[in-house]
Chain A
Amino acid sequence: MSTNTAPAPVEPETPPTNKHAGGTGVLNRKRGTIATVVMAVLAFVWLFPLLWAVYNSFRDYSYTQANGYLSFGGWTLGNYEEAWTRGQFSRTLLNSLYITVPAVLLTLFLSSLVAFVLARFSYRFNLTLLGVFLAANLLPPQALLIPVFRMFRDIPLPSFLSDTGTMLNSFTALVLVNTAFQMGFCAFVLSNYMKTIPHDIYESAELDGASVWRQYWQLTMPLVRPALAALATLQTTWIYNEFFWATVLISRGDKFPVTSALNNLRGQFFADTNLVAAGSVIVALPVIIVFFVLQKQFVSGLTLGSTKG
């Protein structure tokens, strides 16, 4: 596809003739038109795969087989029905929920504890501590696979946490692993955010006799709510999308979350592209809804982490 077409937004041109008009950030007219056209084309190219998936998910397989995919018509909802039952999405979506929600809450809670200590106190080990979490966040998970896999196979879990009796094939394992990996990013973002809270607030809280825990829970946490919301949105999509650990730590079909279930559907679906389309839309829908409802949170979450301020 044409993803490689580089845009030419900055055509070399003679310097602007009228220096007085034209604000700083605004493109002049000619360039503005070029940029708009290039952007519109690229934006369409970028949206096209999703639109194409939605379009074909509503079309009958036999119709597209007879008329080709470049046709119009053959509307049906059958692909969704079939994809839903054959893909067992009612179960895998629920599994994803059981993994994502606890993992996001635990990640935010634990990383906010670390972030609070990092921001509130200036211990000598602060930088090292942050390093321990941040580096963990960047390490390739495959590098840790073998020991984690082997360890989980031997750790027994009570039956209410895992019906296989070990951490392998349990939601608990995925929740903990995701949490361990994501804490670094969240602790980093949160501690930067918490550092903007004026120190005087803590001083007066201490004068009032507030314990450290109360300062954390009743003073800091309410103030960092915007950052928590942004991170929650981001982490929800990331953990919902997490594929590697869900693939290697879960081998029982009834335990797969949505993303790793795709692995099994591949064989069943790839012979019927319309089914692939419907399945893709079903899997994408939860994150796309989250994205559109909480778009601002999503973007600010990503940008909080990559740069400061």
Chain B
Amino acid sequence: MSVDTAQPTKDDARTTRRKPRRRSTKDRLVIATMIAVPTALVVWLVWLPALASVGLSFTRWNGFRLENIEWVGTQNYRDITTIYPPFWPAIQHNLIWLVFLFVFPTVLGMLLAVVLDREMRGSRFYQTAFYLPVVLSLALVGFIWQLFYSTDQGLINEVFGTRIDWYGDPDINLWAVLVATAWRHTGYIMLIYLAGLKGVDGSLREAAAVDGANEVKTFFNIIFPVMRPINLIVLVIVVIESLRAFDLVWIVNKGRNGLELISALVSQNVIGEATRFGFGSALAVIMMVISSVFITVYLRIVFTQDQEEK
């Protein structure tokens, strides 16, 4: 190969962070390509569309001819917040989704991880049981829970002798869908915490036990603070998951009638009856703005961890 290898001295091999030696043209081309091809793909399919969404959100467009794009300023945003009926319910549902995920499956997942982290008999089996739903798609989860929620053939109605349309009744279907989501979400959170707890130094816990601290104290004073970076990551994951939530409501009723979510509203404006690209883009931008706050938080955590390791 064509690298000039004659001159490198022994001592610069020891210091890893030094000025890179001059590489051959071929090597530099290879490095450039290694970065350029994946970057081009992600810029083309993620970053340019993101920018385009922002641009389109200030226009009115039916999605056909480019010259029909009509600049309307902030009209779409004003319409969304004032005269678009499903918007505020959707925001509310997304918020309920977020709070619910935190209060039930996230806390439960954390507790499960704390207990299963011990040398408990059958721990492996329990772990498998809890994260088995994690491998299923949320659309399929919605399908499986139909076995419980069906009005005339569902298990719940059969056991309680009721005839409730769990997926259809706009007052309760959000909760029905949330329970199904929780079934999958708990195992996911448990897994993340289990991995994090492996990093908790056993001697810390031992010291606490010697000091006579009980389990609850040990957890709050020792384990929880050590898990701080994981808590932050979980926070971001939960926020982003609840913002992206889509599959389940789409499979149930395409995000209508009690199951409005912002993600579903965007999709309805593109593949629904009316193609309102400008309006849909404005909804998309609202999603993007909310998520970018948390993405920034996430990147900061990840990058500070990175710095600490160096």
Contacts and interface: CB of A to CB of B under 8 A. Distances in A.
A263 interface: yes
Given A142-B246, A211-B30, A273 B302 contact: no
B2 interface: yes
A145 to B, nearest CB: 6
Given A39-B126, A134-B299, A143-B291, A211 B26 contact: yes
Contact of A24 (B46, B47, B188, B209): B209
Given A122-B17, A140-B288, A259-B137, A39 B122 contact: yes
* Number of chain B interface residues as a range: 35 or more
Contacts of B98: none
Contacts of A66: none
A176 B45 contact: yes
B41 A142 contact: no
A49 B125 contact: no
Given A204-B13, A284-B144, 13 more contacts: A12-B216, A24-B209, A42-B112, A49-B148, A113-B34, A121-B31, A139-B291, A143-B53, A145-B267, A147-B49, A248-B270, A283-B140, A307-B199
Interface of B: 1-3, 5, 8, 13, 16-17, 20, 23-24, 26-27, 30-31, 34-35, 37-39, 41-50, 52-53, 56, 63, 104-105, 107-108, 111-112, 114-122, 125-126, 128-133, 135-140, 143-148, 150, 153-156, 158-159, 179, 182-183, 186-188, 191-192, 194-196, 199, 202-203, 205-206, 209-210, 212-216, 219, 229-230, 233, 236-237, 240, 243-244, 246-247, 250-251, 262-263, 266-267, 269-271, 277, 280-281, 284-285, 287-288, 291-292, 294-295, 298-299, 302-303, 305-306, 309
Interface of A: 1, 3-4, 6-7, 9-16, 19, 22-27, 31-32, 35-36, 38-40, 42-44, 46-47, 49-50, 52-53, 56, 64, 68-70, 110-111, 113-114, 116-117, 121-122, 127, 129, 131-136, 138-151, 176-177, 179-181, 183-184, 187-188, 199-200, 203-204, 206-214, 216, 237, 240-244, 247-248, 251, 259-260, 262-263, 266, 270, 272-273, 276-277, 279-280, 283-284, 287-288, 290-291, 295, 298-299, 302-303, 306-309
